[in-house]
Structure 1
Amino acid sequence: MKNFKKTVLTMLIGSALISTVRADDNVKSTNLDASDMTRAYSTFYVGASNNGDVKASGSVSYHYENGMESMVSLEGTMDKGGKYSDSRMQYFHVFSIQNPIVPRVAVSLDVIDNDIATTAALGAISIFRTPIESLTFFGRVGVLTGEYSDASINDFNVSDNSLVGGMGTAYAVWKTGQDGTFLALYPEFTYLSGDIKSSTVKTTLMAATPLSADKTRWGQIKFENTYGNMKSDNNTVDIDETRVWFNYKVYL
């Protein structure tokens, strides 16, 4: 596990450097829409939460002549004490299906590591246009597998660390102005099954606005609430956590 964490953080730094090299090519070749969750962009962002956590993420994208897009992203978080908290690696592939209501569908492979578990998830997300140009919906579903951490196994006094599960998310995105400023609201339900069962709902409200005239630099505020529980035959832990994130994001 320690080697995995070191690998993620090292790759994150490398991703940021590669993204910088690709900056001019990517921004000029795409119609930037920061509110569209079915587009692949080369980006870098840093963020800080109200409890002192610090997060950094970098992504590298590629756009194909047939309209498909792909992206590899890496994300890592440190707690206020400067220690590793969690990380994520993702491959994201976008398919253009030329439908006026559902113009794009994307599939993703995510590897997420934190204090609770390490999981690999296969998911899909689709955009849904509405008659109101400023309002867009997205839907995401996924299945996942992995294993609980040693700390989780000890805390819940179980022997089997394997898990399987699923997740579903519905996104509502509203563009509030001509400059691209938008609000996004999305509840995300996740269920994990095994000797430890976990059921959580993470509700996020995000406001994002461009900080530069070319709309390549953005400021974001995220309000996140995670509610649910983890339980085994021997222990139950209730979850109710709220965090506020302040992010600075650059489209390269």
Structure 2
Amino acid sequence: MSFNNKIIWITGASSGIGEALTYELNQQGAKLIISSRRKETLEQVKNNCSNPSDIHIVTLDLAKTDELPSKAEEAISHWGHVDYLFNNGGISQRSNAIDTNLDVIRTVMEINFFGSVALTKAVLPSMIERESGHIVITSSVMGKFGTRLRSSYAASKHALHGYFDSLRQEVYDKNIKISLVCPGFIKTNVTKNALEGDGSKHNKMGKGQEHGMPADEFARKLIPKINRGKEEIYIGGSEIWAVYLKRFFPRLLNKMLRKVKVT
């Protein structure tokens, strides 16, 4: 199976993992819809591609869930359908739970969880009608366990697993696949753009991200796994082992995390 001529919609495509996926899938011959809030940046990404004529831009804000059904109509109508939806857009958080305002928690949940759910619900009927489709959700290793300073972020990613694991069972007989992707430390601006407890931008590069896997390498490793229809995917460095420690030795992991410096 190849991505040549497949219609793929990628959110969060203006930077980081989404941008890297755009370049890699464009090279593989896919026809892309790329989305984020920043049209100018999306235009730059499009112009950087080897086949820019195969890219359509749909600007959207995942926090504005009431607008997403019309955005889905726009995206679907451009190429006629969507084969793959990459729910990649999101935001992180860096603050102790006690210091995090409730509206910040709501913002993280609105973007990471409700935004992905709303967009999926808007695209899903057309996939069910065609009895074909693949929904990819960028979660995180934080979707499998939590650390200090990331309570809201981890909660939003845990919620994605509960929702999309359930959805996978409901759409299996419609030939629709669901893949949850759990990156470790990937070198992007996710920490810089993270929200602090009062809603201000963190504006600091975390050490994990600074020394993490380059986004283009991540994209190259991810795409073959999506092609094989893997249901849950872990890509990163040694931090990936924490997922297995959580599963088999949770008390040991908790003891280790209490001693680890997190940024």
TM-score (norm 2): 0.31
Instruction: Report 1 or 2 for greater relative contact order, CA contacts < 8 Å, sequence distance ≥ 6.
Output: 2
Which protein is richer in strand relative to its size? 1
Q: TM-score, normalised by structure 1?
A: 0.32
